[in-house]
Amino acid sequence: MATSLPIVERGPAVTRSAVPGLLLGATALGLVALARNWAPSYSFKGKVVLITGGSRGLGLVMARQLVAEGARVALMARDEKELARAAATISPRDHVRIVPGDVRDPADCSRVVASTVAHFQRLDVLVNNAGIIVSAPVACTSMDDLRATMDVHFWGLIHMTSAALPHLLVRQGARVVNICSIGAKVPVPHLSAYCASKFAQAGLSSVLSEELSSRGVTVSTVYPGLMRTGSHLNAAFRGDLTREFAAFALASGLPGVSMGAERASRLILDAVRRGQREIVVPFTYRQIARLVALAPNPTAAVLGWVSRLLPDGSKERAAGTINPTRGADVPLPKAVRAAIVLSERAATRNNERAAPIHPF
């Protein structure tokens, strides 16, 4: 004879007897959070840190702060001359080593790690910071854009982490810091290739965090909001170049919307010291990320409205003129340049004005 589940009348959502337990649980969670924030900080003094994408922008800013704290730093990027200019801005100079290489090439990654370990005799921290940005409507975004961003953000992380891991596993308290983006939590219009690759990068980083924690390696996945690094000059643009570049430059350079790279770096390094596995900075962007997670449909509607304000690139697509163009090669209206003066200064300070090898 078939049996059926008993019918149980629905009672109040929370009974009085359950309240003490809920309060106790909430208190315990609060104490855990406080203990985590007050835990003894990891020190970078004497540590060896390898930073990819270290020749400019956030990678360079982090290198300066790490060396000031007593770390020894290896900077990796594709352009040796650009690396040399970056290293010249860091003191003491003998705490910095430049190692040219491309994160897309597994052999380069292995060589850079081996060279770093041979020079400094150890490796304690890997910062996967190398990145590229393509700003364009989806209709103007090419397969090459998608492949390029995945090659750098996703495969680059795999290649570098695989090469570094044997050396990290023998260091107590080793760290892997994966610089993702708020674009891995918020689907930003006109950054389809960038967001897609960052979502993939963040997913991989989160799994690495779970699996490597038992082996003594702390993996931090970092989701910084918009930063004034000067990176607008080295982003690639397609479609209506003038409007596309102006919109991107304003979003990444306006005070109040973006944060200074130095502040972002301090927040990131403080969180890494505490061993945080997920880092969203600053506070305002943590709230934005939570809002997107809690109310995806309303936020999608808002982002759709934002998308309609941006150029659709239809004329350029019809004319076949959608080749990628570096931001520094696109004219910027005087009013926009005046509004992003802090970002323009950051570009000079953070070695962003030198021409790269290629937009990608």
The pLDDT of residue 217 = 98
86-115 burial, b if ≥16 CB within 10 A, otherwise e?
bbeebeeeebbbbbbbbbbbbebbbebbeb
* Rounded distance between C-alpha atoms, residue 241 and residue 138, angstroms: 14
Q: Which of 247, 130, 149 has its CA nearest to residue 197?
A: 149
The pLDDT of residue 93 = 93
The pLDDT of residue 18 = 55
Task: Please give the chain's pLDDT, 360 residues, in tens.
Answer: 444 444 344 444 445 555 555 566 656 655 555 545 555 579 999 999 999 999 999 999 999 999 999 999 999 999 999 999 999 999 999 999 999 999 999 999 999 999 999 999 999 999 999 999 999 999 999 999 999 999 999 999 999 999 999 999 999 999 999 999 999 999 999 999 999 999 999 999 999 999 999 999 999 999 999 999 999 999 999 999 999 999 999 999 999 899 999 999 999 999 999 999 999 999 999 999 999 999 999 999 999 999 999 999 888 877 766 778 999 999 999 999 999 999 999 999 999 997 665 556
The pLDDT of residue 41 = 79
128-167 burial, b if ≥16 CB within 10 A, otherwise e?
bbbbbbbbbbeebbeeebbebbbbbbbbbbbbbbebbbeb
Give domain 42-349's CATH number out of 3.40.50.720, 3.10.580.10, 3.40.30.10, 3.30.70.20: 3.40.50.720
What residues are labeled active site? 194
